[in-house]
């Protein structure tokens, strides 16, 4: 199955390269295949086309583009450990790069000053990342902060009976407190047994372990590469369900099955889960990462904790429950 997906992805990328040569649309949004980045790119380009602002499309490749606005939807599509992936693209196009979050050990930090001449605009979704970009050498006037958005026609709260129906449809127990975690937190795109510590999966496990001592909880997981968390829950004897959703938008129903959503990350640019859970009326507890400090007032429209503060995460989860 893994080899099939790789072949399919490669074939699609080759198809996008061919389209790049002949397509006349003015903006090309470069995406990573899969989970969130591709969905964000699709939403942005669909909206631009629908409003007839600029003809747009997504692509997995920036090869052979000329006289376009090329928007790299994540820093992974623009930079690697050796620098800019495709320097020719800058010579023939206007360049917009989105950089969501910057872990302290990201080797690409050294290339940030180069973005002053190699990009036209650097976009980020939160003020925390804006401050880091400036600290590492990017000029203020290069940066535009535009938050991530959420489609309120898809992500919306259900009635109590509607939530009950969702739980029954998914196959969740009726007599448990359902805690959600829907983000990718394993290294790579495989099983994800190695934790991506920047996402705080180790903190998540500590929190639910403590909550399980007092409450009858059930953990609902979506997203790829969740092996580390699943193994941890199995070891602790905490019941859970993991579903990888082929259609990302199906996740809206999963939010409506929850009693509580936890973000335990150490670094984020969004995450989308903050907006999505809030839009669905799900109580949210999050560390002070990404957009969280920009939009959440602690104890008013959500709960904020310091990064790695397991005690406060547990305390505020208990307060909500």
Spell out the long-range contacts of 243-246 with Cβ–Cβ below 8 A and sequence spacing 24 or more: 243/170
pLDDT over threshold 70, residue 140: yes
Percent above pLDDT 70 for the chain: 98
Q: Which pLDDT does position 3 carry in this prediction? A: 67
Among the residues of 93-152, which ranges form H helices?
A: 115-118, 127-135
Stretch 159-182: mean pLDDT, rounded? Answer: 95
Burial class (CB in 10 A: 0-12, 13-18, 19+), 53: exposed
Stretch 58-87: mean pLDDT, rounded? Answer: 95
pLDDT tens-digit map of 236-254: 999 999 998 888 888 999 9
Q: What is the pTM of this model?
A: 0.88
Which residues sit opposite 23 in a β-bridge?
none
Q: At 34, is the pLDDT very low, low, confident or very high (cuts 50, 70, 90)?
A: low
Q: Are strands 79-80 and 83-84 parallel, antiparallel or unpaired?
A: antiparallel
Q: At 124, is the pLDDT very low, low, confident or very high (cuts 50, 70, 90)?
A: very high
Average pLDDT, the chain: 94
Q: Which pLDDT does position 4 carry in this prediction? A: 60
pLDDT tens-digit map of 266-282: 999 999 999 999 999 99
Is the sign of the CA dihedral 247, 253, 257, 258 positive or negative? positive
| Closest to 304 (Cα-Cα) out of 321, 289, 318, 319 | 289
User: Could you tell me if 2 and 191 are in contact, meaning their C-beta atoms sit under 8 angstroms apart?
Assistant: no
pLDDT over threshold 80, residue 185: yes
Q: At 57, is the pLDDT very low, low, confident or very high (cuts 50, 70, 90)?
A: very high
pLDDT over threshold 80, residue 5: no
| Closest to 221 (Cα-Cα) out of 211, 231, 206 | 231
Spell out the long-range contacts of 153-159 with Cβ–Cβ below 8 A and sequence spacing 24 or more: 154/249, 154/252, 155/252, 155/255, 155/275, 155/276, 155/279, 155/280, 156/252, 156/279, 156/280, 157/256, 157/279, 157/280, 157/281, 158/256, 158/280
Stretch 22-36: mean pLDDT, rounded? Answer: 89
Percent above pLDDT 90 for the chain: 84
Q: Which pLDDT does position 7 carry in this prediction? A: 72
d(CA 281, CA 166): 15
């Amino acid at each position: 199955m893994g080899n099939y997906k790789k072949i399919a992805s490669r074939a699609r990328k080759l198809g996008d390269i061919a389209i790049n040569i002949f397509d006349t649309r003015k903006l090309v949004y470069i995406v990573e295949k899969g989970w969130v980045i591709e969905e964000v790119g699709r939403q942005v380009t669909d909206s631009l086309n629908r409003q007839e602002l600029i003809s747009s499309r997504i692509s997995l490749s920036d090869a052979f583009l000329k006289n376009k606005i090329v928007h790299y939807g994540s820093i992974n599509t623009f930079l690697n450990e050796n620098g800019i992936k495709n320097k020719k693209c800058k010579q023939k196009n206007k360049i917009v790069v989105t950089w969501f979050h910057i872990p302290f050990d990201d080797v690409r930090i050294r290339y940030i000053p180069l973005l002053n001449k190699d990009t036209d605009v650097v976009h980020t979704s939160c003020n925390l990342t804006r401050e880091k970009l400036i600290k590492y050498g990017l000029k203020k006037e290069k940066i535009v902060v535009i938050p991530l958005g959420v489609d309120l026609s898809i992500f919306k709260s259900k009635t109590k009976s509607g939530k009950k129906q969702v739980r029954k449809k998914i196959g969740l127990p009726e007599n448990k407190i359902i805690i959600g975690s829907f983000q990718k937190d394993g290294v790579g795109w495989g099983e994800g047994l190695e934790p991506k510590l920047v996402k705080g999966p180790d903190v998540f496990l500590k929190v639910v372990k403590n909550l399980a001592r007092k409450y009858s909880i059930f953990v609902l997981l979506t997203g790829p590469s969740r092996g580390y968390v699943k193994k941890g829950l199995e070891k602790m004897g905490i019941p859970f369900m993991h579903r990888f959703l082929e259609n990302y938008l199906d996740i809206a129903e999963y939010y409506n099955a929850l009693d509580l959503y936890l973000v335990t990350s150490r670094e984020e640019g969004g995450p989308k889960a903050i907006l999505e859970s809030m839009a669905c009326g799900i109580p949210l507890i999050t560390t002070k990462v990404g957009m969280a400090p920009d939009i959440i007032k602690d104890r008013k429209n959500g709960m904020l904790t310091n990064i790695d503060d397991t005690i406060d995460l547990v305390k505020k989860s208990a307060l909500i429950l």
